[in-house]
């Protein structure tokens, strides 16, 4: 069984993946961490030297490899499902769960996270709130289309989100 966590940045995918992994005894995989490890650079450095297109190429390679494995909980980068080939790679390879949060919550989480600068490069020329709002709106239909179900992480901690996902999977 695979569980793929999708959603915008700072919705809790990596932390929730670790919680689910620990509870279910599945391998925990973070696509962004694999990209950073293979590149020997931070995500911000990849964006700076290879542009977003270069990062997305690296991401597609990682997603294709991840999709071949089983018994894992996968935290995918926020934009991983933007490419059709990535969606095709994970579709039918496990359950796909969309983690959601409001624009204000995402902005607050990004501002509070000391890793934001190196791990979450700015994707537009807008200020943070406008960027998050625009990109979340632009990606909403893609997330909704591929997800088997969604969990609102707004007022739940990572352990509670993990429990909700596990309960939903057990009921299906």
Enter the pTM of the model. Answer: 0.93
CATH number at residue 37: 3.40.50.300
In this prediction, residue 125 carries a pLDDT of 66
Q: What is the mean pLDDT of residues 129-146?
A: 95
Asked whether the CA dihedral 18, 22, 23, 29 is positive or negative, the reply is positive
Q: How far apart are CA 132 and CA 54, in angstroms?
A: 22
Average of per-residue pLDDT values in the chain: 93
- Measured in residues, the chain has a length of 172
Nearest to residue 154, comparing CAs of 115, 114, 113, 99? 99
State percent of the chain over pLDDT 90.
85
1 versus 23: which is more confidently predicted?
23
Dump pLDDT digits (tens) for 72-124: 999 999 999 999 999 999 999 999 999 999 999 999 998 887 665 555 666 66
In this prediction, residue 113 carries a pLDDT of 73
Q: How far apart are CA 12 and CA 99, in angstroms?
A: 7
Give me the residue label for tokens 């406008």: 130
Q: What sections of 25-146 are H helices per DSSP?
A: 31-39, 43-66, 84-90, 103-112, 116-119, 128-146
- Would you call 36 helix, strand, or coil by DSSP? helix
Q: Which domain holds residue 151?
A: 2-171
Q: How confident is the model at residue 132 (pLDDT cuts 50, 70, 90)?
A: very high
In this prediction, residue 127 carries a pLDDT of 87
Give me the residue label for tokens 């490419």: 83
How many domains in the chain?
Answer: 1
């Amino acid at each position: 069984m695979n569980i793929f966590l999708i959603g915008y940045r700072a919705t809790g995918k990596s932390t929730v993946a670790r919680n689910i992994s620990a509870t279910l005894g599945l391998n925990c995989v973070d696509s962004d961490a694999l990209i950073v490890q293979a590149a020997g650079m931070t995500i911000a450095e990849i964006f700076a030297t290879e542009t977003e297109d270069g990062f997305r190429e690296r991401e597609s390679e990682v997603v294709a490899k991840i999709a071949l494995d089983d018994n894992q909980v996968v935290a995918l980068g926020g934009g991983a499902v933007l490419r059709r080939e990535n969606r095709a790679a994970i579709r039918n390879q496990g359950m796909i769960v969309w983690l959601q949060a409001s624009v204000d919550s995402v902005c607050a989480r990004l501002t509070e996270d000391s890793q934001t600068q190196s791990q979450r490069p700015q994707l537009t020329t807008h200020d943070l709130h406008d960027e998050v709002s625009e990109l979340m709106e632009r990606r909403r239909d893609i997330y909704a289309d591929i997800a088997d179900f969604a969990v609102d992480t707004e007022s739940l901690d990572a352990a509670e989100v993990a429990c909700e996902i596990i309960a939903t999977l057990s009921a299906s």
